Every structure is written in structure tokens, then in C-alpha cells.
Amino acid sequence: MRVAENLNAALHEVMAATDDLYLLGEDVSDPYGGAFKITRGLSTRFPGRVLSTPISENAITGVAAGLALSGDAAIVEIMFGDFAALAFDQILNFAAKSVSMYGSRVPMRMVVRCPVGGGRGYGPTHSQSLQKHFVGIPGLSLYEMSPFHDNLALLTHMLGRAEPCVLFEDKVLYTRPMHDVPAPFSLAVADGVARVFLDDEPDCVIVATGGTAHRALAAMRSLLLEEEIVCTLLVPSRLYPFEVEVPPARYVFVVEESSAGGTWGAEVAHQVHRRHWGHLAGPVTLVHSADSVIPTAAHLEDEVLVSESAIHRAIREKLRG
């Protein structure tokens, strides 16, 4: 099953299981079913609870917050995550704050889905990975879709938290298979963290976002075959708050597609430094995209975005010099 099918099926199931759950977004209704076809079939099956909206990210997100405030639940699809900038006030200043700023806990069941990432040639305003802009907001939890986490469990978990969540979905994952791990690696998922590993003691640990996991995995494979470097890959479903127990290792790498500067990976590195400084051979290495807008032309986009070869190179240089 492909990731998009898994997510679509998860939305069907969670809508069926939750009578008071709404889904709102631009062009989400059938027969179009969303720009990436993730909401296909939902408006036909759940008329009245799946609402195609005007091009109004601020209002859609505010309406979702109003529904949540009334005791309903809501999932918002932001067509391209980049447009979440237009909903930022509602997320930062209303939804997230409402959980606690009225002095007692206000449950807010809402999820803002943000397709993000490049690699599709959509250019500077339709290709960004915006995770870093949402890190560190009290009352807001950040999640990222991965090929290793079932989306029904993820959506159920997010709505169960009763506080606003943002779900980042790397667009390149939609067409990739679920749970695909090449031999000789093994996959285990526990407590929302996917671990891809060999039985051997790892030389290094890679913490990667869901959207970069397949690139990290490909680098792990080539590092094993070409350099005999053994890596363990950790892919957290929840990005923030980050509470992943990173196993003690001499080398730790964090991989993300974000452009450089103030990244999620820097937050992860800070936590790893605090917990494991004594075990580390050196500071955590951040592997991310360049400090650049994301160009449209494929050859220019390749130069900017984090890639399998960049991950391979960063790890080889650190471990082999």
C-alpha cells in the first residue's frame, strides 16, 4: 500500500469512528478529492462533515478552532503547507494558546495537515519544509508522516491529545510504499518511534524526519555496503515536543529537509547534547537543505535539497575522516 492510500484510508476510518469530526480544506470534495487526492471519497461518504472552503487559510483554521472549542473535532487540509503562513495567527495566537491561556485546560481536538517539501519542481513558495517555524509553541504538538507509521493510529493519537496538532506530510512520500525497508535492515515501531537497524552494534545513530527517512535509509545501505559503517535510524512520529530516547552512540546525525538556520534538528541536537554529552565523540551533525530558497528547475532544486548523497557524505566524513 502506498502512503497516500494509507492516509486516505485512515481519514475514512477516523471520520467513520468520530461522529463529531469535520474535515475542511480547499478543493477537498469529490470528484477532485484534494490537490493530492488525499481526501478522495470523503465528501461522498460524509456529506456535511467534509467541507470544501474558499481560499481562506486563516478562516478555515479559525473555523476549525471554533468547532474544537464547541466540543467537535476538526481536521484542516492546507493545500500546500507553505500557505500555513496565512493561518499562523490562528495556530499560534488562538488555537495553541486557548489550551492554557484561560487559566484552566481547554480541550482542542484539531489537526492541521500540511503537505510540505520539495522534489516536485513546484518552486520557492510550494516546496518548503516549514517545521522549524512551528517548533517551541506552547500547546502545539508537531507530527510528521512517515512510511513507517500507520496514519490511522497517528490521527487517532493526535485527536486524543485534545490539543492542536500540526501534521507535516512530505509530498514525495505519497507515492512511496508503506513499511518498505530493504534487506538486511529490520524495522521496529514502538512508542511512536520507528527504528531501522541491524543486529550489529551501530557506529552511529541517525534521527530523521518522516519525509527524509527513505533518503537516510538509502544512505545507510550504501554506507554499509561501501564503507562497512553500521547506522541505526530513528524516525519519530512526533517532532515536538521531542521526547525520543536516542541510544548512547559516539556519533549522532539529524536529517531534515528544512533550509539551514534555526532548525528542528538544532533542537534535537540540543537535547542529545544535554543527555549524552559524555558518550559523544563530538557534537551532533545536522544534515539539512542549503540556506536558500527552493529553485524550480530540477537541476537547481537538486543542489539545494538534502539528498541521499549528502547524508552519505556527511556520515562518511565524520566517521572516516
Partner 1 sequence: MIDADLSRMLLIRAFERKLLDLFGRGLLNGTTHTCLGQEYVPVAMEGLLDPADHVFSNHRGHGHYLARFDDPEGLLAEIMGREGAVCSGVGGSQHIRRDRYLSTGVQGESLPVAAGVALHLKRAEPGRLACAYIGDGTFGEGAVYEALNLAALWGLPLLVVVENNGIAQSTPTPAHTAGTIEGRATAFGIAYALVEGADVDGIRDRLAPLVTGVRQGRPAVIEFVTHRLGPHSKGDDTRPAHAVGEDWRDKLLSPRLERLEAEARARVEAVAADVMARPLSRWETR
Cα–Cα distance for residue pair 60/78, rounded to 1 Å: 9
47 sits near partner 1 (criterion: CB under 8 A)? no
Pick the binder of partner 1 from 7, 28, 38, 67 (CB under 8 A).
67
| C-beta of 22 vs 253, nearer to partner 1 | 22
Q: How far is the CB of 101 from partner 1 (least distance, A)?
A: 5
Task: Find cell 517551541 and name the residue.
Answer: 136
| C-beta of 226 vs 243, nearer to partner 1 | 243
- How many residues are there in the chain? 321
Binding segment toward partner 1, per CB under 8 A, in 39-47, 70-78, 152-160, 184-192:
70-78
Question: Contact 189/148 with Cβ under 8 angstroms?
Answer: yes
Cα–Cα distance for residue pair 139/233, rounded to 1 Å: 28
Output Rg (C-alpha) for the chain, integer angstroms: 19
Task: Find cell 505519497 and name the residue.
Answer: 174
311 sits near partner 1 (criterion: CB under 8 A)? no
Pick the binder of partner 1 from 14, 23, 28, 65 (CB under 8 A).
65
| C-beta of 53 vs 222, nearer to partner 1 | 53
Binding segment toward partner 1, per CB under 8 A, in 71-79, 125-133, 196-204, 253-261:
71-79
| C-beta of 165 vs 235, nearer to partner 1 | 165
Q: How far is the CB of 150 from partner 1 (least distance, A)?
A: 29
Cα–Cα distance for residue pair 161/96, rounded to 1 Å: 12
User: Binding mask 75-104 vs partner 1 (x if CB under 8 A, - otherwise)?
Assistant: --------------xx--xx--xx-xxxxx
State the number of binding residues for partner 1 (CB under 8 A).
Answer: 33
Least Cα distance to 168 among 234, 255, 271, 238 occurs for 238
**Measured CA angle at 270 (ends 269, 275), to 5 deg:** 95
Q: What are the residues whose beta carbons fall under 8 Å from the beta carbon of 319, sequence distance 6 or more?
A: 203, 204, 227, 229, 251
* Of residues 153-172, those binding partner 1 (CB under 8 A): none
Least Cα distance to 107 among 75, 148, 65, 142 occurs for 65
Where b means 16+ CB within 10 Å and e means fewer, 231-265 reads bbbbbbbbbbebebebeebebbbbbbbbbeeebbb
Q: How far is the CB of 58 from partner 1 (least distance, A)?
A: 5
64 sits near partner 1 (criterion: CB under 8 A)? yes
Pick the binder of partner 1 from 62, 115, 119, 295 (CB under 8 A).
62
What is the arrangement of strands in the sheet containing 50-52, beginning at the earlier edge strand? 50-52, 21-25, 73-77, 109-116, 165-170, 141-144, 238-240
58 sits near partner 1 (criterion: CB under 8 A)? yes
Pick the binder of partner 1 from 41, 66, 124, 192 (CB under 8 A).
66
19 sits near partner 1 (criterion: CB under 8 A)? no
Task: List residues binding partner 1 (CB under 8 A).
Answer: 48, 53-54, 56, 58-72, 74, 89-90, 93-94, 97-98, 100-106
